[in-house]
Amino acid sequence: MARPKALVLRSTGTNCEVETALALELGGAEASILHFDRILEDPARLAGYRILAFAGGFSFGDDLSAGRVWGAQLRGPLREALNEHVQGGGFALGICNGFQVLVESGIFEPEARPDERSVALYANASNRYECRWVNLEVQESRVPWLPAGERFPTPVAHAEGRFVAKDLEALRAAGQIALTYVSESGGEPAYPDNPNGAMGHVAGICDPTGRVLGLMPHPERNLFPWNHPHATRRGARDEGEGALFYRRLVETAGA
């Protein structure tokens, strides 16, 4: 059976494209990496890919705001191409800076108001760059490949990841809140378990279709048991929890 094709998009300043491609390959996809400028030149190059992944890093140096410039590129010439990809049953994933890019593109907004901004990612409440391990809990959402109630550890590394929304309950009712921060025991997270002060402890959301997911943490940095700083205390494992995260995405995209 043919492996679903995944395209990891990079831009000036991204730095997570290689490990993201590796995560998708380990998950069963045929992954490749391409600079976003090549898509701007020829949007038809997106054809045939089941998964588009926007890599993390610091696109354009975060000079204006995290993800602002790349998001504007996506919102302009490529918005129709991205919409066609999703409407055709394709999936998209934005990790960290990639999440910021997708927020800036407006892809998470209701279909009736695609240019209205109702969600944003602000500077961390700590006013500093946060690089640490956190725990996530999957919420009831439209994302078909994330089982509600599951918890898993993953690293974060960002300075602008504080999720805010005009109407958090409307997002929850629409099934768009996909992942939240929790404490190690699964309880209410205070800092640093919620590393950025996100409203509602939100770590990741999806678009109204459930096929576009954005999250601040980096599951691709937890592919192997030894990636976790407490690996020897966690018992024998064949893989890191991030490997399962990507494998489920690939399996769903290839179904």
Q: Which residues does residue 73 pair with via DSSP β-bridges, in sequence order? A: none
At 183-210, the pLDDT tens digits run 999 999 999 999 999 999 999 999 999 9
* Assigned token pair, 247: 């494998």
Catalytic residues: 96, 218, 220
At 131-145, the pLDDT tens digits run 999 999 999 999 999
Fill in the DSSP letter of residue 254.
H
Residue of 82, 146, 83, 74 lying closest to 104 (CA atoms): 74
Task: Find the distance separating the first CA and the last CA of the chain, reported in whole Å.
Answer: 11
How large is the average pLDDT for residues 241-252?
97
CA distance to 20, 46, 77, 208, 246, per residue, from 81 (Å): 22, 8, 8, 17, 23
- pTM, entire model: 0.95
Name the CATH architecture for the domain at 5-254: 3-Layer(aba) Sandwich (3.40)
- Residues written for the chain: 255
Boundaries of every domain in the chain: 5-254
Please report the pLDDT score of residue 114 as a whole number: 59
> What is the three-class DSSP state of 39?
helix
